[in-house]
Structure 1
């Protein structure tokens, strides 16, 4: 079955962010604390994966194949998909029954409050995930510096300002590091798409300068 995912990073004023945090943070924190999620994260940190171009040969090796599957599951899960349940009390948690809003439109009220001073980063991919590709490209040490959990965060303006140095360390690549990261990333971005290696850091810098908060939402559109 096909799917399309989106990783959106949008800027918001703190008064708007207060409402967004109340909806986003509980879902993200609940997911982050799941034992299986923590185990998958720690396993990736302890033994980062080889270059994705070698994966075809490793799928048949049980231990390596399990490690690849664990990483992809870790970085592709989208706990914010559950936001649609706040709109319809009859909606099942997986959106499979009774939900009047199962196409992603439930997220528009998060995004439409964004401030135009900061151009959003929007990575939309069919049958792929921007967060998975980025994390594989930069590795666990850099990924651990990013606030939130696997692309999901809701930061006040002060938190954006304070976290900018860590995000610079995570995503501010030297020319040689950039070449290495580009070799490890598998996304086939279109000519009009902002690279995932660029968009998040740009948003952080612009939001910090403008005194705005940032919302990161890693979701399925359909």
Structure 2
């Protein structure tokens, strides 16, 4: 059975964000995801591997890569960091219903067959840059004030030029072909799209939400 990884970020009205947050807290006060067992150990392991390539070029298929064992381990670590409890999943569904329509300036969507777009970007950026992004590994629900507060750190993490950008693009492509089946995925949009929506939300006084999901 094939699966599809999705990362979606949307700008939402500030009051709508606050209503969703109030509802979530009343229904199920969240526990910090960072407190889960193994997360700190996983981050330490990732930092020890961050400078290494976790893929080797395929000898049989042009422009594709083969995943080393550590690539699968990193993928499993990132996937294991999300809270998939019923109340949190219900909140994600409620937020999804509020996202702008496809093509709206306030929406970014990345989709990949057999691979998580967020995990591909995380591999490209490295752990310390990923922790500067809003929320927790691509999942967030921020009101307008929080968007403005978090934007500078997101800009620092995602504003890539020159050799750093080329290196990130190559890593995204390695992930999308070594672990996924998405050789045509737009690596540049995966880098630029999230920041574009966050800037739009900040300019327009809106909140923003991000979700990493599998279908």
Q: Distance in 2 between matches of 1:191 and 1:71?
A: 20
Which runs of structure 2 are paired with 1:143-182 in the superposition (5 Å)?
Answer: 143-182=130-169
Count how many residue pairs are aligned between Structure 1 and Structure 2. Answer: 196
Structure 2 residue 201 is the aligned partner of structure 1 residue 207: yes
Q: Distance in 1 between matches of 2:29 and 2:108?
A: 22
Alpha-carbon shift at residue 52 of structure 1 (Å) = 3.5
Alpha-carbon shift at residue 191 of structure 1 (Å) = 7.3
CA contact under 8 A between 1:153 and 1:216: conserved in structure 2? yes
Alpha-carbon shift at residue 209 of structure 1 (Å) = 0.7
Aligned to 2:7: 7
Aligned to 2:96: 111
Out of 82, 86, 97, the position equivalent to 2:85 is 82
1:66-116 CA-partner distances (Å, limit 9, x unpaired): x434311122347354347876xxxxxxxxxxxxxxxxxx85531232356
Q: Distance in 1 between matches of 2:18 and 2:39?
A: 27
CA contact under 8 A between 1:81 and 1:219: conserved in structure 2? no
Q: Which moved more, 1:122-131 or 1:29-38?
A: 29-38
TM-score (norm 1): 0.74
Q: Distance in 2 between matches of 1:38 and 1:208?
A: 31
Q: Aligned in 2, Cα 1:194/1:177: closer, same or farther, shift over 3 Å?
A: closer
CA RMSD, 1 decimal: 3.2
Q: Distance in 2 between matches of 1:193 and 1:184?
A: 9
1:116-171 CA-partner distances (Å, limit 9, x unpaired): 66431111222100111001111122112112111111111111111111111100
Q: Aligned in 2, Cα 1:180/1:191: closer, same or farther, shift over 3 Å?
A: closer
